[in-house]
Amino acid sequence: MSHIKIELRKEDVDFIKGVCATFNNDPQELINVLHSCQEHFGYLPAEVQEVVSDGLNMPVAKIYGVVTFYSFFTMTPKGKHPISICLGTACYVRGAEKVLEEFKKELGIQVGESTKDNKFSLSSLRCVGACGLAPVVLVGDKTYGRVAPDDVKNILKEYE
Amino acid sequence: METIKLTIDNKEIDVPKGTTIYKAAKELGIDIPTLCYMELHDMGIENKPAGCRICVAEVSGRRTLAPTCSTKCEPGMVVKTHTPRVLNARRTVMEFILSDHPKDCLVCSKSGTCELQDMAHRLGIRDIPGAEYAAVSTYRMDTSPSIIRNLDKCIMCRRCEMMCNEVQTVGAISAVNRGFMATVAPAFEQNLEHSTCTYCGQCVSVCPTGALTEVNHVPQVLRALVDPTKTVVVQTAPAVRAALGEEFGLAPGTLVTGKMTAALRALGFDYVFDTDFAADLTIMEEGTELLDRLSRHLKGDTTAKIPILTSCCPGWVNFFEEYFPDLKDVPSSAKSPQQMFGAIAKSYFADKIGINRKDMVVVSIMPCLAKKYECQRDEFSVDGNPDVDFSISTRELASFIKQANIDIKNLHDEEFDNPLGESTGAGVIFGTTGGVIEAACRTAYELYTGKKLERIEFTELRGMGGVRSATIDFDGLPLNIGIAHGLGNARKLLDEVRSGKSQFHAIEVMACPGGCIGGGGQPLHHGNSEIIKARAAALYTEDRKKPLRKSHENPFIIKLYDEFLDKPGSEKAHHLLHTHYFDKKKKIMIKK
C-alpha cells in the first residue's frame, strides 16, 4: 500500500512522544495512544506510526496491523467536511448505495479518499441508529435523513 | 502437582492442571489434526492462535465445538474428537480455507511438503464446493534477496508472525487488514527488503504452505555448470550433511557427508570443497582476535571491547546492524566461513590453478536463507565480482540432485577435494548451537596457555537451552562464555552488553533455534524438535570420528598461512578475511 509521505516537525514528534509518555510508554496502551494521535493529526500517516513504534518500543508492523484492523483508524487525512453514508440494512434497502454512487460521481473520489482540495472525504458506515430516517447521510456532525440521489448536489452546495 | 481426570474418545487420562485438550489427546495417542498449532517445546516455542479451527472437538456441557489447541482440560470433561458433527465441521472449515486458496498444487514449490495439501488428503476432501464461482483473493508477490512471499497461499496460521515477533523479536511482519484482505505483511505492506527482516528464514521453515519460500538459485548454478568457460567450485556448510538425507527418506541425524560429496561431483562441480575448512580458518582469525582483545583487556586497556561476539551468522549480523548499531564494534570483525571461503577460493586457489577470479564461480550449499543475502552484500565483492556467486539451501540442493537423476542413497562415499576440503572436528560442530565457541575454545586454549588441551569436548557448552553460560578454565584464567540461539535470546545478552552488565568474555550467537542445523534452508521439521536434536548429535559424531579436532592443527590451514596469509590477523588476512558492519537502523525523518 502506498502511503502519503509526510515529514514530521520536531513539535509533532514531541507531541507523539508525549502521548506515549502519558500512557507510561506501555505497548498495551497502543490503542489509546493511536486514538490521541488520530485526534491530533486527523489521521495516522506512516511517519506517526513510526514515532509511536519508537515511543512504545514495539514493532511498527504490529502498529500497522492494529491501524488496518480497526475501521476507526485511518491512514488518509479526512476532509474538512467528512461525509459518511450509512450502508446498514435499513438504509441499504432504501437505496443508500445509489446515494453513495451519486456522492462518488459528484466528488470524483472513492470511499476512503479525500478530494484534492481536502474539502470533502467519503466513508461508509454501518448504522447510526436512525433507521427511521433511512437512508441517512452524515456530513461532519450534521445528519441528513431520507436522502435521495437528487439531494446530493444540494447537500454539497451547503458547504461551498 | 494438581492433576485433572478427563475422558477423550472413551479413554480416561490424568493430566496436570493447565494442559490443553490437544496435548492430553496426544498423550493418549490421539493425533488431532491442526494447521496453525505448532510447538517446539525444547525451544519454548508455541503457536496457538486457535485460528484454523481444524482441531475442534465436542466437549461435554459446551454448546459450540471447542478448539482443542487452546481449550484447557477441566475435571470430568468428556471430549469426542471424531463424531459426525466434528468431522462435518472440520470438513467445512477445510473447504472454506481451500475455496480461497490457489489450486496450483501440481506446480507449487511446496508440493509434497505442504501441510495444507496433506490435510486435504487426510480429511478426504475430494471437491471444493463453490470453487468455480469464488475468485481467490490475490495479493502482490514480493521477492527479496532470500525469501519469496506469495501471500495468495497464506492461510493465516500466523506461525511466521509468532516466529518473527516472539521467538526472533525481529518484528518485521504482522497480521494486517481484515477479511479477505487479511494477510501477514511488513509495516505499510512494504516489501520485505524495506522492513527490519534479517532473512533468518524461520518464517519459511514454519510456513505450512507455499506462502513463504526461498528464492531459488538452482537455475543459475545449472547455467554456470554447463558454461565451459567457468570453473565451478562448491562449498558445503557443516549443517547440510546432517540434514540432506531427510529429503531422501533417511532418518533424521543420518550423516551423508560422503554421499553428498559424490552427488556434488556427479552434478558436475569442478571442485567439491568444504565450508568446514573455512570454519577452521574462522577460528584462527576469530580466536586470535579474541586472545588479542582479552590480553589487552586484562592489562587494563579500556579500548579493547569485551565481550567479543561471534560473527559467523548473517541473520545475526543483520539483526545487530538493525537493532544494536551502537554495538557494531563489539562483534568479531572476522567474516563468516562462507565469505572467508569465497575470498580464499577467488584469490589463493584461483592463483594456484592459474585462472582469473572472473572465470571462477563459487557456489555455497547452506542450511540458511540469510546466506543468499550475505553473498550479495557489496563489501563481499571485488570490482563487481562477488566472492560467493550463489548460495543455495539444503532443500534446493536436494531438489537439484533429484532433477539430475542422482540416486544419492546408493552412491559410494567420496572425499572432498583439497586444499580447501580438509577440515577438523572443530569445523564440523560449527553447525550447531555452542559449536563455534567450543571450536574457538579448543584453539584459544592451546594458543593462550601454550599447553596441550587434554579434554577436547567442552560438553558444558552443549545443549539446547536458549541462553546458556559456562566458565572455562584457561589454566587459571576463568573465561566466561555466553551462548544464545534464536534472536530473541541473543537480544537478552545484547541488552546486558549495552547496559554494561555483561559478565561474559565471549558470546556465541546463532540466529536460528538449534543453530544452523535448525536453519531456514533446512528440510522442514514440521514442529518436531527431535529432528533438530538428531542433527546436532550427528555433527558431534562426525567430530569424534575426525583424526584432527582442533582448527590450528589442520595441515592445509597451516599451509595456507605459510604460503599466502603469513599469520592470523596479518595485513593480508585482514584484507581478505575481515569485514566491518553498518548502522542499518531505520531513521525517522524530522523536518527542521
C-beta of residue B182 within 8 angstroms of C-beta of residue B156: yes
Q: Which three cell numbers stand for residue B500?
A: 554494561
Would you call B130 helix, strand, or coil by DSSP? coil
Kind and range of the H or E run holding B46: strand B45-47
Residue ranges of the domains in chain B? 3-82, 105-214, 219-577
Nearest-CA distance from A2 to chain B in Å?
Answer: 8
Q: How many residues does chain A have?
A: 160
Does B249 have pLDDT greater than 50? Answer: yes
Rounded distance, CA B564 to CA B567, Å? Answer: 9
Would you call B431 helix, strand, or coil by DSSP? helix
Residues of A in contact with B170 (CB under 8 A): 59
Q: What is the ipTM of this complex?
A: 0.88
For the question of residue B332 being annotated catalytic, the response is yes
Of 3.40.50.300, 3.30.70.20, 3.20.20.70, 3.30.1490.20, the CATH number of B105-214 is 3.30.70.20
Longest CA–CA span in chain A (Å) reads: 52
Residue of chain B with shortest Cα separation from A63: B187
| Distances, alpha carbon B202 to alpha carbons B7, B141, B367, in Å | 37, 19, 11
| Environment class of B440 (CB within 10 Å of its CB; exposed 0-12, middle 13-18, buried 19+) | buried
Of 3.40.50.300, 3.40.30.10, 3.30.390.30, 3.30.1280.10, the CATH number of A81-157 is 3.40.30.10
Average pLDDT over residues B328-336: 96
Does B119 have pLDDT greater than 60? Answer: yes
- When pLDDT is cut at 50, 70 and 90, the band that residue B385 belongs to is very high
The pLDDT of residue A112: 85
Kind and range of the H or E run holding B372: helix B370-374
Nearest to B272 by CA among B263, B280, B281, B261: B261
- When pLDDT is cut at 50, 70 and 90, the band that residue B46 belongs to is confident
DSSP string, B388-418: S-EEEEHHHHHHHHHHTT--GGGSPP-PPPS
Tell me if B591 and A10 make a contact (CB, 8 A cut-off): yes
**What is the per-residue pLDDT across B440-472, written as a single tens digit (0 to 9) for each?**
999 999 999 999 999 999 999 999 999 999 999
Average pLDDT over residues A98-110: 95
Rounded distance, CA B485 to CA B494, Å? Answer: 12
Tell me if B188 and A1 make a contact (CB, 8 A cut-off): yes
Rounded distance, CA B558 to CA B583, Å? Answer: 35
Looking at every residue in chain B, the average pLDDT score rounds to 95
Place of cell 566466561: B480
- When pLDDT is cut at 50, 70 and 90, the band that residue B362 belongs to is very high
For the question of residue B457 being annotated catalytic, the response is no
Tell me if A46 and B188 make a contact (CB, 8 A cut-off): yes
φ, ψ at B536 (rounded to 5°): -60, -45
The pLDDT of residue B40: 80
Say if residue A135 is preceded by a cis peptide, omega within 30 of 0.
yes
- When pLDDT is cut at 50, 70 and 90, the band that residue B592 belongs to is very low
CATH of the domain spanning B219-577: 3.40.50.1780
DSSP string, B511-534: SSTTSGGG-TTSPP-TT-HHHHHH
Outline which parts of chain A fall under CATH 3.40.30.10.
81-157
State the catalytic residue, choosing from B39, B58, B285, B374. B374
CATH of the domain spanning B3-82: 3.10.20.740
Rounded distance, CA B309 to CA B360, Å? Answer: 32
Rounded distance, CA B355 to CA A32, Å? Answer: 65
Q: How many CA atoms lie within 13 A of B150 on its CB side?
A: 16
Return the higher-pLDDT residue of B107 and B590: B107
| Environment class of B269 (CB within 10 Å of its CB; exposed 0-12, middle 13-18, buried 19+) | buried
Rounded distance, CA A108 to CA B459, Å? Answer: 71
Task: Tell me the percentage of chain A whose pLDDT exceeds 70.
Answer: 97
End-to-end, the C-alpha distance of chain B in Å comes to: 62
